[in-house]
Amino acid sequence: MPEHTLGPTPRIPSVTPQPPAAAWSVWPTGEHDETTQLHTHGYLRATTTDAERIPPAVAAYTISSYSRSADTVLDPDCGAGTVLVEALRAGRHAVGLTTSDRWWSIARANLTTTKRAGAWPDASVLDAHPCMLTTARAAGLTGRIGLVLTTLRHPQPNSDHHGRTEPHPHETDPALPRLAQTLTACVPLLRPGAHVIITIRRRRRHGVLQDLPSAVLAAGHTAGLIPLHRCIALTAPLRGTRLALRAVTWRQARAHVPAGSVPVSLVTHHDVLIFGAPDLTEQPDAARDTPTLARLTPIRWPAQGIGEDIRPNGRHSTRHAA
């Protein structure tokens, strides 16, 4: 069991964070880097090994905006448990699933640390596949989940007998069918008015930027969910009307660029797709057709713009450097 944390045990605030007064499509969740977020909230050092975790600030913003006090938050593929910890800190109950012994151990230790700091809600991490949600073992959760919050997790690349380390750009990403099955299993657990929210890290495959938001939208439609909003969660701070990239971000990017290659493109956001619990008895037939991203709430760009660093051209929060 891991024992070392990134910082002192945090004190859990007695007041549950309140949702913002108005919902924005661009979330200011990058004011502090992830290392600072993990340190401030007392996460174990081993949490940093979960490269596809939802940043604590993104999880906290989502939970406070799209769930109610004392709701139950479910992450069916919880990794190191950032969603579960932020749910406890916000006064929500939390349930996480993982098939990895490593993530189970780290997530459980993170929850233990948070409970010792004064969090009162219940929390559990189950060593189980998401398909368990369709069995009698999950019967007690039926109709009780107020928010499903998870991320699109990709399997670690393994070389196959052809020597390839990842699928061809035009092949189906194996993470997508698995996500569709997971979302389908979650639907019976949702209470009326619940939300299902998926965060997505932008990825390139063989140099080609993948359109993962559209694929995740299709997975949600397959599960019978209703698309509501499309947002972006910033991972860099705003300074006035521009993004301010941290020096470490530049150093990490340049370390992976061959000598003489320009420009460098940095992604400084996570895509966020927000779905509602299905209620087909009240939906017109047109609403049941296959949705497109155009039907979702558009990114609401500030009237003054945010300069060249954020622009509605398909690279919402990228910045280029020579």
Omega prior to 167 cis, within 30 of 0: no
Q: Which range has the top average pLDDT, 30-34, 262-266, 302-306? A: 30-34
For residue 242, pLDDT over 90 is answered with no
What does the pLDDT look like over 144-161, one tens digit per residue? 999 999 999 987 654 343
What does the pLDDT look like over 36-77, one tens digit per residue? 999 999 999 999 999 999 999 999 999 999 999 999 999 999
For residue 12, pLDDT over 60 is answered with no
State the helix-helix crossing angle for 212-222 and 175-186, rounded to 10 degrees: 40
For residue 214, pLDDT over 60 is answered with yes
The percent of residues in the chain predicted with pLDDT above 70, rounded, is 68
According to the model, what pLDDT value does residue 205 have?
74
Choose among 165, 72, 180: nearest CA to 124. Answer: 72
- The count of other CB atoms within 10 Å of the CB of residue 267 is 19
What is the average pLDDT value for the chain, to the nearest integer?
78
For residue 122, pLDDT over 90 is answered with yes
Please give the sequence-ordered ranges of beta strands (E in DSSP) within 175-263, or none if there are none: 190-201, 204-205, 208-209, 226-234, 238-239, 242-243
Residue range 274-294: mean pLDDT, rounded: 57
According to the model, what pLDDT value does residue 147 have?
98
Q: Higher-confidence residue: 81 or 174? A: 81
According to the model, what pLDDT value does residue 258 have?
63
Positive or negative CA dihedral for 135, 138, 142, 148?
A: negative
Taking the model in full, what pTM does it have? 0.77
For residue 181, pLDDT over 70 is answered with yes
Residue range 255-280: mean pLDDT, rounded: 75
State the helix-helix crossing angle for 56-66 and 82-89, rounded to 10 degrees: 50
* Confidence label for 138 from pLDDT (cuts 50, 70 and 90): confident
CA dist., res. 59 & res. 29, Å (int): 9
Assigned token pair, 321: 């450097």
- Walk me through the domains of the chain, giving residue ranges and CATH numbers: 26-154+170-321 (3.40.50.150)
* Confidence label for 281 from pLDDT (cuts 50, 70 and 90): very low
Residue indicated by tokens 């448990």: 81
Q: Higher-confidence residue: 315 or 31? A: 31
Assigned token pair, 81: 């448990």
